[in-house]
Amino acid sequence: MFSIVSSEERRQVVEGARVYRASLTPCPRDWLKKRLSSMAMAHGHEKDPDRAAAWLQETGRLLWDLPHDVLAYAIDEAIKRSDRGFMPAVGQIRAIADPMVATRREETYRLEAMALVIAGRSHNPQWGTTAKPWERVVADVAPEDDRIPGSEIAAFNRNMRKFGLAMRCRADGSTFNLQPGVPDPTYNGEEQ
């Protein structure tokens, strides 16, 4: 089969998918502990060691899942944006970090889907032939926790129709976009 994608480009896509997946690894706990400790020393007003330890433990628990580079950037930005020099709250840090992680996850899924398509593993009869090749494999690539819960699928699809958006959700929680002129497979003729 003829392909306009060279072997080197294929290798780069596969390597890029691997690197992106690795970049989603949570930050090292030792680094986070040191960073939070230095923040507490510089900005903290808590003098009780038990309360300071509890703050370190809880804040670490709420932030440790973020990738190292994203978390470092988000902490720095939250401190810069902090009013009156106070230590930023977890919510302020997550407000900066979460959209960055979501973008990186989406880019990772797309690269992994491209790698599967390049490897010729994109055929999944369940999605039919109308889906784009990368859309056929995204559900196989996306982890379960990033899918829409089964109990919310009907409401999600109903809201997408209500607002005139093309995005829909499959039965497994993965999403896809409707193609122009193609009937909506999620609409059964009744709206609740």
Residue 12 has pLDDT above 60, yes or no: yes
User: Tokens in use for 40?
Assistant: 């507490």
Contact between 81 and 87 (Cβ < 8 Å): no
Phi and psi based region of residue 143 (left: phi greater than 0; alpha: psi -120 to 50; beta: remaining): beta
Residue 9 — pLDDT band, cuts 50, 70, 90?
Answer: confident
CA 136 to chain centre: 19
Q: pLDDT of 122-174, one tens digit each?
A: 544 444 444 554 454 555 555 556 677 778 888 888 888 887 878 888 887 77
Look up the pTM and report it.
Answer: 0.59
Query: What pairs with residue 67 in β-bridges?
Result: 26
Q: Please list the alpha-helical segments (H only) found in 23-165.
A: 29-43, 49-63, 68-81, 90-118, 133-141, 153-162
Percentages helix, strand, coil for the chain (3-state, rounded to 5) are 60, 5, 35
